Amino acid sequence: MLTRYLLPVLAVVAFSFAMIQMTKAQQQPPPVNPPVDPGKSPFGKQVAGAGIVEPETENISVGTHVPGVVRAVHVRVNDRVTPGAPLFELDDRQMAAELAVRQSMRDSAAAQLAKLEAMPRREELPPLEAKVEEAKANVEDKVRLFERAKREIDTGVGSGETFDTRRMGVDVAKAQLRRVEAELDLTRAGAWKFDTAVARATLTQAQAQVDQTKTELERLRVAAPRIRKPGADRSREPIPSSDLLELRVLQVNVRPGEYVGATPGQAIIVLGTVGRLHVRVDIDENDIARFKPGVGGTATPRGEPGTRLPLSFVRVEPYVIPKKSLTGGNTERVDTRVLQVIYAIDVPNPTLYVGQQLDVSLDAGG
C-alpha cells in the first residue's frame, strides 16, 4: 500500500523540481555593475593607451661598477640627495690595504729619485780627495826611489832587478793615482742621466698605480649622478651647481651586508625628480597612424573615474618596442609592439605616485 502511493508522489515532486530548475536556468541574469566605473574620454575621437607615472628625469636605476659586499647605505626612501652625495659603499678593506702598499712603493721610488738628483753627497768628496793626495804622494815617493836606483845603475853599484822593480812601482803608483782621480771625478759628476731617467719613470709608474687604486676605491663608493636641469646650457663644462637637479630616493633595494653584483639593469637604488611628473604612454602599433604628435590628452587614475588630469605633449620616443607594461585586461594582447609617448601632467602636486598606472585618452579628432 505504501509503495503504491509513495512512488507516484515522489515522481511528481521530482518532476516539479526539474521543471523549476529548467525555468530558472532559462532566465537572463540581471546586469552586473563593475566595481569601479571606467574612465570616460572627453574626446569624440580618441587614441587610448596605458600610461605609467614617472619622474621628469625618468627612473634612474643606480647600480655598481664592481661586485662586492655592501658596507653601508647612506640614504633611505624619500630622502633628497644632491649631485655627488654618497648613496652606498662596498667593503674596501682589500683595496685600502693595496693602496697602502702602492703608496709605500711610490715613496720608495721618490726617495730613490731624490737620492740620484742630490748626488754627489757632500760627505763623500773629502775621503776621495784624501785618497788622491795619498796617491800623489805615493807617486812622488816611487819616483824618488826609481831615480835613486837609476843613479846606482849609472855608477855601477846598483842591481838591475832593483831598478826594474822600482820602475814598475812608479807605473803602479801612477795607475793608482789615475784610478782615484777617476773615482773623484765620477762622484763629482753626480748620477748618470740615464739612471735618473729610469728612476723618474719608476716613480711615474708607481704614482700611476696609486692613482689606479684610488680610482678602484672611488668605484666602491657610489654617489648620486650629476644631471642638468631641463633647458640648462649643455655646453658649460664643468657643470655649475646651479644647473644640477636635486634628486629624490624612490626605492632602496639593498641593505648592509648584502652581496651585490655588477649585473646590467640591476636597480640597487632608484632615483628621480618628482617636482613635475610625466606619464609614459604606450600606444598600440595599430593606433600609431591615428596619433598626431603634439595633441593634448587626459589621464584618469585607476579607481578614480571622475578624476581627469590634463596632459601636455613633451616628446615621442621614435622607437617602437615590444609591449612590457601590461594592464591585466582579459582581451589584452601581449604579442604587439607599442610607441612610447611622453606627456607632462599639468596639475601641481597631483596625488600620484611614481609607477602608478593611468588610463590615458589622446585627442584624435584633428
Q: Which DSSP string do the residues of 177-241 spell out, in sequence order? A: HHHHHHHHHHHHH-S-HHHHHHHHHHHHHHHHHHHHHHHHHHHTEEE----BPTT--TT-SSPPG
**Any bridge partners for residue 340, and if so which?**
282, 317
C-alpha to C-alpha distance for 301 and 311, rounded to whole angstroms: 13
C-alpha to C-alpha distance for 119 and 279, rounded to whole angstroms: 72
Residues 6 or more apart whose CB falls under 8 angstroms from that of 206 comprise: 102, 105, 106, 108, 109, 110
pLDDT above 60 (res 110) = yes
- Residue 341's CB is within 10 A of a number of other CB atoms, namely 26
Residues 6 or more apart whose CB falls under 8 angstroms from that of 110 comprise: 203, 206
Q: What is the pLDDT of residue 76?
A: 95
Domains of the chain with CATH codes: 46-56+275-363 (2.40.30.170), 62-90+223-269 (2.40.50), 120-190 (1.10.287)
State mean pLDDT over 290-301: 92
Higher model confidence: residue 228 or residue 341?
341
307-345 confidence digits (pLDDT tens): 899 999 999 999 998 887 665 555 555 668 899 999 999
% of the chain beyond a pLDDT of 70 = 91
Task: Note the pTM of the prediction, 2 decimals.
Answer: 0.68
